[in-house]
Amino acid sequence: MTQYFSFRILKKSRKSQARLGIIKTPHGQIHTPAFLPVATQATVKSLTPADLRQIGFEALLCNTYHLYLRPGHQAIKKLGGLHKFMNWPGPIVTDSGGFQVFSLGAALEQGVGKIMGFFPGRTNKPAKPVKLKLAEIDEEGVEFRSHLDGSLHRLTPQKSIQIQEYLGADIILAFDECTSPLDDYQYTKRAMERTHRWAELCLKAKKRKDQALFGIVQGGQWRDLRVKSARFIGNLPFDRLAIGGALGRFKKDMFRILGWVMPELPSSLPRHLLGIGQPQDLLQAVKFGIDLFDCVYPTRLARHGTFLTHEGELNILRARYRTDKGPIMKNCSCYTCQNFSRAYLHHLFKSQEILGLRLATYHNLWFINQLMRKIRRDIRNGKF
């Protein structure tokens, strides 16, 4: 860690690997374990930075792939960097662009349109047996087509770091190859070795001192590969570590993989579990010692009219809510629940009014942030 970054563990749970900590960045602190809302196009869809602050979020994650294609990293640099561009004063994480290139780019080529359930945790649908042909990957990088206009682009470890340096987030990610749960052992092994070589290139390519770099552990659902990858990446001079890639086909696979990987990672560095965000998964993963999460799950769900509650998911479009005077969730102190009935929200979604998306997103992110707060409080009080 440098003068710009530090990670302090304040308390460790006695019953699990859970820990309470603070990450210091040039744009402020992140109290961990923390959830980072995803601001794909430099915006958390439908919410303002003021909303996000009010909900209590300290940091966000933006997608390099999308911002590179539009408006472009050079444009964002000229406009003063990502923080200024989107008026978010707190810490920002950018991903490497790898995940989107391997999912969106490849999907477009195959006419799939959108990956559903291909990378578990990124969506809430079960995995479909679609085989991606990642023909354009070579040892130096990956060639892909823009999902916007079909134009041809090339991403390499060096290019990904350069783009992320232009964007100017506080925390950036190494460029990795994200395999699918359907890739076989041999392919996953080759991809992991490539990711390791790319990790070293990313470290070499990095110039800015005021950005921390995450290394990413790959290895699919194979124990020997995951352990090897965790040891390799854990021994490189990264500022922190992330667990990415195929986490198996089912939820139980994911926790088995965490059980292999976590003991191999240096405990002094923050650990980020990429793309996971369902409430029960957050609770479980914290027990394995995960400090950071990001996921489109709560915000995407909201835009489909589904609200997170302590009783599970509530789809407001159901007819039974048409005349329901109650709030989405009793005892929820969010703006949505304090001011609007289920009947009104049902009406907004039925009429496809924009306010419905906004109020639902607000509640779901509030719900997730309250959950993270409770997790932190319980670790602090020795009750987790």
365-384 residues near Zn ion, rule: CB under 5 A: none
**Distance in Å, CB of 361 to Zn ion, minimum:** 11
Size of the site for Zn ion (CB under 5 A): 5
Number of neighbouring beta carbons within 10 Å of residue 331: 7
Task: Report which of 183, 159, 202 is spatially closest to residue 65, judged by C-alpha positions.
Answer: 159
**Distance in Å, CB of 43 to Zn ion, minimum:** 21
Among residues 51, 95, 170, 210, which one is catalytic? 95
Stretch that binds Zn ion, among 19-27, 29-37, 345-353, 355-363 (CB under 5 A): 355-363
Number of neighbouring beta carbons within 10 Å of residue 303: 17
**Distance in Å, CB of 332 to Zn ion, minimum:** 3
Distance CA 258, CA 238 (A): 19
Closest to Zn ion by CB, 247 or 308? 308
Type of residue found at 366: W
DSSP per position, 255-321: HHHHHHHGGGS-TTS-EEETT---HHHHHHHHHTT--EEEESHHHHHHHTTEEEETTEEEETTSGGG
**Distance in Å, CB of 364 to Zn ion, minimum:** 8
Stretch that binds Zn ion, among 68-76, 218-226, 263-271, 335-343 (CB under 5 A): 335-343
- The helix (H) or strand (E) run that includes residue 162 is helix 157-167
Closest to Zn ion by CB, 156 or 336? 336
79-108 residues near Zn ion, rule: CB under 5 A: none
Q: Is 332 in the site for Zn ion (CB under 5 A)?
A: yes
What are phi and psi for residue 314, nearest 5 degrees?
Answer: -120, 115
**Distance in Å, CB of 30 to Zn ion, minimum:** 23
Q: Is residue 176 among the annotated active site residues?
A: no
Distance of CA 80 to the CA centre of its chain: 24
Closest to Zn ion by CB, 200 or 313? 313
Closest to Zn ion by CB, 48 or 74? 48
Distance CA 265, CA 234 (A): 5
Among residues 291, 294, 324, 378, which one is catalytic? 294
Stretch that binds Zn ion, among 16-24, 72-80, 105-113, 362-370 (CB under 5 A): 362-370
Closest to Zn ion by CB, 217 or 316? 316
Q: Is 358 in the site for Zn ion (CB under 5 A)?
A: no
Return the residue matching tokens 């990502």.
Answer: 82
Under DSSP, is residue 57 helix (H, G, I), strand (E, B) or coil?
A: coil
Stretch that binds Zn ion, among 4-12, 220-228, 257-265, 324-332 (CB under 5 A): 324-332
Q: Is 76 in the site for Zn ion (CB under 5 A)?
A: no
Closest to Zn ion by CB, 151 or 331? 331
Stretch that binds Zn ion, among 64-72, 189-197, 224-232, 332-340 (CB under 5 A): 332-340
Type of residue found at 81: G
Closest to Zn ion by CB, 199 or 368? 368
Query: What angle do the packed helices 223-235 and 185-205 form, to 10 degrees?
Result: 10
Distance CA 217, CA 145 (A): 26
Q: Is 363 in the site for Zn ion (CB under 5 A)?
A: yes
Q: Is residue 253 among the annotated active site residues?
A: no
DSSP strands (E only) in the chain: 6-12, 19-25, 28-32, 34-37, 60-62, 92-94, 142-145, 152-155, 171-173, 212-217, 240-243, 271-273, 292-295, 306-309, 312-315
Stretch that binds Zn ion, among 183-191, 344-352, 357-365, 375-383 (CB under 5 A): 357-365
Q: Is 342 in the site for Zn ion (CB under 5 A)?
A: no
Q: Is 337 in the site for Zn ion (CB under 5 A)?
A: yes
Closest to Zn ion by CB, 188 or 336? 336
Distance CA 9, CA 20 (A): 6
**Distance in Å, CB of 366 to Zn ion, minimum:** 5
Q: Is 174 in the site for Zn ion (CB under 5 A)?
A: no
Contacts of 179 (CB under 8 A, 6+ apart): 187, 188, 191, 192, 218, 220, 245, 246
Q: Which of 246, 265, 334, 348 binds Zn ion (CB under 5 A)?
A: 334
The catalytic residue positions are 95, 294
The site for Zn ion (CB under 5 A) is made up of: 332, 334, 336-337, 363
